[in-house]
Structure 1
Amino acid sequence: SAVPVDDIDRAVRSAGVPLSVAVHSAWATTLGSVLHSRDVVFGSTVSGRDADLPGIRDMVGLFINTIPVRARWTPDDTAYDLLDAVKRHQGAVLAHQHVSLARIGRLSGAGSLFDTLVVFDIATDAADLRRPGDTLAITDIVNEGAPHYPLTLVVERAPDGRTRFNLIYDGELLRPRRAEAILAA
């Protein structure tokens, strides 16, 4: 189920980082807590449209891709240290966002790089889809995707504009109560 978070946008503005940096940092610490580790890797979707490829502005089709996000921190690091590290990591991998996950796996020598995913589905605002004179009213946009990862955090906009989080999980690997605890973290 989706959980709206009232103050996430204000907190992100206060920290001076993009929403993706804040969410990636929070997800890293959540996974770190679950896995008892300060070095985690998870996947994150990117639009691929920002890739530095010749002619990309004239290309038609989906460019969405999943990239690995690695976050490492020490017990002495502050939240701002982690935010800064994640922000630097995002900047470093952005130029390579068009490289396929399969290729990254082959080049790294690793099979599966991660088993959790963060998806940002915030580009579409229901209010932006309304036009004067429309008789059909869009009241909500729901992600019905079924990712093949055991645990996926979906970040989306509620109809009122607030950021909300939805956790999609494999019920055979994770009990509902545990999933709710992870989402609440």
Structure 2
Amino acid sequence: SFYPLSSAQKRLYVLHQFDPSDVNYNMPSVLQVSGPLDVKRVEDVFRQLIARHATLRTRFELIDSEPMQWVEDTVPFKVEYTKVQVERATTDTDQDTSTDLDTATDTTISQEAQERVRQFVRPFDLKAAPLLRVGLVDLGAQGAKQASQHLLMLDMHHIVSDGVSMEVLTDEFVRLYGGEELPALRIQYKDYAVWQQSETHQEWMQRQEAYWLGTFRGGVPVLDLATDFARPAVQSTAGDTIEFGLEREVSERLKELASQTGSTLYMVLLAAYTTLLHKYTGQEDIVVGTPIAGRPHAELESLVGVFINTLAIRNYPSSDQSFLDYLQGVKEHALSAYEHQDYPFEELVEKLNLTRDTSRNALFDTMFELKTLEQQELQLEGLT
């Protein structure tokens, strides 16, 4: 039978309809596996994961012009397997592709392997389950110890997954590959989607809604950052990544500041970030988006699905405040936003009925996220 979509799924479904050939909402990841990988077992484990998580057997279609989700009992699944030639390490630094994937060996990933990774990410058809693809690139034996190397590639559509889901899948993959049995899941994502529509939940939502409508009473400020080019008429996703590191001493002192002020590292950094935006723009009313895991119940923590929500946090940095005073305000606003984190961002945008500007996001122009995840190295039966 068909089930309703959660509000996050609805938003992603609509975004997909705008441009079905878009890959902006694909969630690809690549793991480099060193050691004797059992290819057949990899496929078996993914079949077990697909059987375990209903989301991985879910497809989407319009029923009476309303998007609905349908969970299949079984879905066709095969690992896409390819083998490439190994290239020895090159010293050619001007080819940007050689830095795309760091390897733990003394060989660079060959151009051909890079190309396989790039071709692997392609559009999904939401009408066809599973919205998950797995690929294995056999790189042959490499490195000083001549260990066999593989690239394990995963791609999922965001409509069935989020960051926490990727962690759940990685963790369960390792446990199942190691022969562990996992306890059965008591609920599935569709149960959460149905619960979102329930009467008790709707009452709770009305209380949450009142808070957010109150926060944005009197309109939404537009961040006026000075840019070096004219803003295009339609927002584009073209961009770049700038990375920089902080000295350990700075990071220790930031943590100290958090504990001295009874706040968290997130609050300290959000206060610093919005102060920076205030210095750039001279504005004293600034809204910044922030992602939140959106899994308020312990039962939801081991599910694969899209729970992530966005909070639009409004702060008022002014030049006549000290940073410590301002931090207290940021702390209060952040705590109130967390208390009301269940209210779906897309419903807030709809309720505020804003005049849409295609060159901008609806409620904020920048986002701030603090991730405290270390990239783990997973050890497994002679594999790294």
The correspondence of residues 127-142 of structure 1 with structure 2, limited to 5 A, is: 127=376, 129-131=377-379, 135-136=383-384
TM, length-normalised to structure 1: 0.61
Q: Quick check: 1:9–1:19 contact (8 Å CA) kept in 2?
A: no
1:134 Cα offset (Å): 5.2
Stretches of structure 2 lacking an aligned partner (at least 5 in a row): 1-241, 357-361
Which structure is higher in RCO with an 8 Å CA cutoff and minimum separation 6? 1
Query: Equivalents in 2 of 1:9, 1:106: separation in Å?
Result: 42
Query: What is the TM-score normalised by the length of structure 2?
Result: 0.31
Which 5+ residue runs of structure 1 have no aligned equivalent? 137-185
**Aligned AA (1:126):** Q
Q: 2:254 aligns with which of 7, 11, 14?
A: 11
1:114 CA drift (Å)? 0.6
The structure 2 residue matched to 1:33, chosen from 247, 263, 279, is 279
The code of the aligned residue for 1:58 comes to E
Q: CA deviation at 1:82?
A: 1.3
1:100-153 per-position Cα deviation (integer Å, ceiling 9, x unaligned): 22112233343511111112232x2124x44476542xxxxxxxxxxxxxxxxx
The letter for the 2-side match of 1:108 is L
Q: 1:33 to 1:75 in 2, by over 3 A?
A: closer
Q: Which amino acid aligns with 1:100?
A: P
Aligned residue pairs total: 129
Tell me which amino acid in the other structure corresponds to 1:115: D
Deviation at 1:4, TM superposition (A): 1.1
The equivalent position to 1:42 in structure 2, one of 288, 296, 300, is 288
- 5 Å-filtered alignment, 1:143-154, equals none
- State the identity as a percent: 22
Aligned to 1:91: 335
Distance 2:254 2:265 in 1: 9
Separation in 2, partners of 1:92, 1:11 = 23
Q: Provide, for residues 151-181 of structure 1, a one-character-per-residue CA deviation record: whole Å limited to 9, x for no partner.
A: xxxxxxxxxxxxxxxxxxxxxxxxxxxxxxx
Aligned residues of 2:285 and 2:315 also touching (Cα < 8 A): yes
Structure 1 pair 120/109, CA: closer, same or farther in 2 (3 Å)? same
- Whose radius of gyration is greater, 1 or 2? 2
Matches within 5 A, 1:16-165: 16=259, 17-49=263-295, 51=296, 56-59=297-300, 60=303, 61-110=305-354, 111=356, 112-122=362-372, 124-127=373-376, 129-131=377-379, 135-136=383-384
The answer to whether the 8 A contact 2:290-2:311 is kept is yes
Letter in 1 for 2:276: T
